[in-house]
Structure 1
Amino acid sequence: MSRRLVALMILFLILLAVFVVLVIRAENRNMEQLRNEYPELSEDALNLRNDALRLWAIRLPFGFILPLLLLFTGFAQRISVFAGERFGMIMSGIIVGLAIFGVMYLINLPFSFYSSFVLRHKYGLTDQTLLRWLELSLKGFLINDGVLALLIWIPYMIIQWRPDGWWLPMGMLAVPVAIFLIFVSPLIIDPIFNNYSPLPDGQLREDMEVLLERGGIGDAEIYVVDKSRDTNTMNAYMTGIFSGERIVFWDTTLNNLQEEEVLSIAAHEMGHYIKGHIWKGIFAGSAGIFLVLYLINISANWILKSSGGAFGFRNIHNYASIPLLIFLLNLFLFLGNPVTNGVSRRFEKEADLYQISLSQDREAAVTAMTKLYEKSLGLPRPSELYKFWYSTHPPIEERIEFYRTEEFLTFGGEES
């Protein structure tokens, strides 16, 4: 293995450790400031943030170290050789994929259990049973990793066909698949995890239908999902495109908010749809897919060339390269966080403006947002570094100020 490759790996891990330290220090300073600015702030919210930060500080570097361990220990190569000697390309791909994804799932299982079960029970964010948690975890593995393992031979067939330029046909295949999943997920995948039912008849449904008509999407379906089985927090979202568009409310949202607050949240979710955020996300995501695949192609080939066979293989079309591709995918998605999350915050701001403009109710937007954050033990704001790198939404204190002061827009998009 070349000294340059070893030096780059060591440098990356050092920089990652420095990043973790900087974020934790920035967050700790921010929480001290919040204690002074918001004396009524819940201690549970601050303690939850500290616990979550400690877990994040472990999981972030571990997400890079684990695939490297599968490479350097030769585990991936041994599984690949075992399957390749006995089976053809398709079956060996399934075996190697299930082995690698299964090992990564099992190793990450304690972290997932602590973050999504132990911590959430500790702070009263869920009443979920252990059996239910296991059910969702296993379903997630089977649907995500299991399906990927069954189909892993397809991208590797493309890589074998075009070892130096595979990223282009792979991107051309991945984009329509991603769009297809946007269609299919609300109808097929989401109901595997939770029960969806139409919003019952009544005043809320009537007012919701009027709101949808005012927004020009009266054909959208209105659903309630039984999230109270899994969480005490609240949320809503709008998904689907064309005839599959639907607005979905967690039952916890309907149980904890007043009708005008629910309508205000609905207006926000409609804003994402009206402002074309789904399609904008598809176009931006498509460009991102090609870029990330191109960078992975260049990086993977260079790493394999510089490794001198240290991993037990030299070609990217070997199934043993799966951990290498996972490492590089995690790397480029991590480095791209500031861009993708910056775009997300901009989308949220546009949806916030549409929300108050359509509902003409600033106070309902403020109270609904306040209840959402209090119920989830959210903080008024993160540190600037964390916001820049990780925040998908503007901080609540910014959003409340925005709700109260921003000029309304007309439905045509002009300021009134």
Structure 2
Amino acid sequence: MLDLLAATSDGFDVASATRAYLDTLQGPARAQSDAYFEGGYWLPLWGTAIGVLVDWLFLRFRIAHALRAFGERVSKRAWIVTAITAFFYTLIGTLVTLPWTIYTGYAREKRYDLLDQTFGAWAGEQAIGIAMALVLMPLAVVAIYALIRRAPRSWWLWSTGVIGLFMLFAMVLGPVFIAPLFNEYTELEDGALRDRIEAVAAQYEIPAEHIYVFDQSKQHKRISANVSGLGPTIRISLNDNLLERTSEEEILAVMGHEMGHYKLHHTWWIVGILLSLFALGLFVTSRVAPALIRRYGERWGVRDMGDPASLPVLAICLGIWMFLMTPATNSLIRWAESKADAFGLDAAREPDGFAKVAMRLSEYRKIEPGPLEEFVFFDHPSGATRVRMAMQWKADNVENPQVVVPEEGYLDAK
């Protein structure tokens, strides 16, 4: 596929070069992309509202009280009672919210032609996720309630450490034991592409002993890649959609971006800041939840904060807090993504490949939001922002740059 090259009469113009790319997304495709992404603005609000409603039902009808009472009939050990309560709380909550999960994860994705799985295949993966939650959630809750009982005033701080340990566990073991439950990972074949990826990685001393391809095309058509793991589990992974739907210059642009996350230590920055937000949320919860229990605890059948029947109270407080922090978390992730974009442009030196990838991501991301819209709702830079960054890099770093006018329909060519 060839691009049409056109040099502007006054030299390279960043705005014109950017517009040449943005104008390739028009008509029904642009309308569908905008509609899908704008509809997603409401999902966190409704998801939080549904979660709060379900937790309120646990309290209003004394379901959490009944779960704790059942646990006490099984065992007198506090940690076993807590584990039983947390297990059934997770199971019942998951089943009650299943219609919402089906709508957001399956029906809505199918409606916009962004999911290739049958309902059975999708449900099978959801079942794996639920099974893991039924193991990990009780473990985390047992640890947190043990801290509540032992350190009633500072439990929120120690619990932040528990959450951090679970995050670390997922980072180390996720690529090796969790990701393969959903996709098959195979080594990228030797050849020119692998050599170029390894060369970029070597330039920045990024481990590239393992470069994997995973079969995400069985789930959807979205392009994706990542550098994941810690220590001996570090690996570079790209999905088969990236290999099959894009050119080599686009692949290198994506891999440069992902290596930027690794080289700039974004995992640690994001984990650290997210833990700080969790710490603040847990601190607020440690002050608000006891007041709610003092006022309504008898009605709900909740004795005190150390009673595992108070789990829905903690979930309501923390859920609302994290929803209110959504713009902050979006801005954090968007900042990291922008830094990785800049690194990737320097590393791969493929500005037009980067611009093409940004346009391909417009399949499910609004391409040109307003500034406030991008600040509040986007956890990645918008396509327009990314294309503009690539064209500015091109103007600053490429000798005799030219405006690239992509052929019509190139977004659908692969």
Match of 1:98 among 87, 102, 106: 87
In the other structure, the counterpart of 2:160 is: 171
Could you say what secondary structure the match of 2:97 adopts? helix
Deviation per CA, 1:31-75, whole angstroms, max 9, x where unpaired? Answer: xxx99x955753432443465456666434212222122112211
* 1:259-298 to 2 correspondences below 5 Å: 259-298=248-287
Equivalent pair of 2:44/2:323 in contact (CA under 8 Å): no
Could you say what secondary structure the match of 1:42 adopts? helix
In the other structure, the counterpart of 2:388 is: 401
Deviation per CA, 1:107-155, whole angstroms, max 9, x where unpaired? Answer: 2211211222222222222220222111111111111243212553222
* 1:231-380 to 2 correspondences below 5 Å: 231-307=220-296, 309-374=298-363, 377-380=364-367
* Residue 376 of structure 2 is aligned to residue 389 of structure 1: yes
Name the aligned partner's letter for residue 309 of structure 1.
Answer: E
CA distance in 2, matches of 1:188, 1:205: 25
Name the aligned partner's letter for residue 61 of structure 1.
Answer: A
Name the aligned partner's letter for residue 67 of structure 1.
Answer: D
CA distance in 2, matches of 1:122, 1:285: 33
Deviation per CA, 1:302-360, whole angstroms, max 9, x where unpaired? Answer: 22123252221230111111111111121111122222221211111111111111122
* 1:181-260 to 2 correspondences below 5 Å: 181-260=170-249
User: Measured at CA, do residues 194 and 320 of structure 1 come closer, stay the same or move farther in structure 2, by a change above 3 Å?
Assistant: same
Unaligned runs of 5+ in 1: 1-33, 411-416
CA distance in 1, matches of 2:377, 2:394: 28
Q: TM-score, normalised on structure 2?
A: 0.83
Q: Tell me whether 304-313 or 274-283 shows the greater mean CA deviation.
A: 304-313
Equivalent pair of 2:68/2:308 in contact (CA under 8 Å): yes
* Residue 95 of structure 2 is aligned to residue 110 of structure 1: no
Could you say what secondary structure the match of 2:286 adopts? helix
* Residue 64 of structure 2 is aligned to residue 76 of structure 1: yes
Higher relative contact order (CA 8 A, sep 6+): 2
CA distance in 2, matches of 1:53, 1:172: 31
In the other structure, the counterpart of 1:140 is: 129
Deviation per CA, 1:263-293, whole angstroms, max 9, x where unpaired? Answer: 1100000111111211212332333333222
Percent of aligned pairs with the same residue? 24
CA distance in 1, matches of 2:174, 2:123: 21
Unaligned runs of 5+ in 2: 1-21, 398-414
Deviation per CA, 1:204-259, whole angstroms, max 9, x where unpaired? Answer: 11111111112221445211111111111111111123332212111111110011
Equivalent pair of 1:52/1:115 in contact (CA under 8 Å): no
Name the aligned partner's letter for residue 351 of structure 2.
Answer: R
Q: Tell me whether 391-400 or 380-389 shows the greater mean CA deviation.
A: 380-389
Name the aligned partner's letter for residue 63 of structure 1.
Answer: G
Equivalent pair of 1:212/1:220 in contact (CA under 8 Å): no
Query: When the two structures are aligned, how many residues end up with a matched partner?
Result: 374
Could you say what secondary structure the match of 2:299 adopts? coil
Name the aligned partner's letter for residue 75 of structure 1.
Answer: I
In the other structure, the counterpart of 1:24 is: none
Aligned residues: CA RMSD: 2.5
User: Measured at CA, do residues 178 and 45 of structure 1 come closer, stay the same or move farther in structure 2, by a change above 3 Å?
Assistant: closer
Name the aligned partner's letter for residue 297 of structure 1.
Answer: S
Equivalent pair of 1:94/1:151 in contact (CA under 8 Å): no
CA distance in 2, matches of 1:287, 1:357: 31
CA distance in 2, matches of 1:50, 1:286: 28
CA distance in 1, matches of 2:272, 2:142: 27
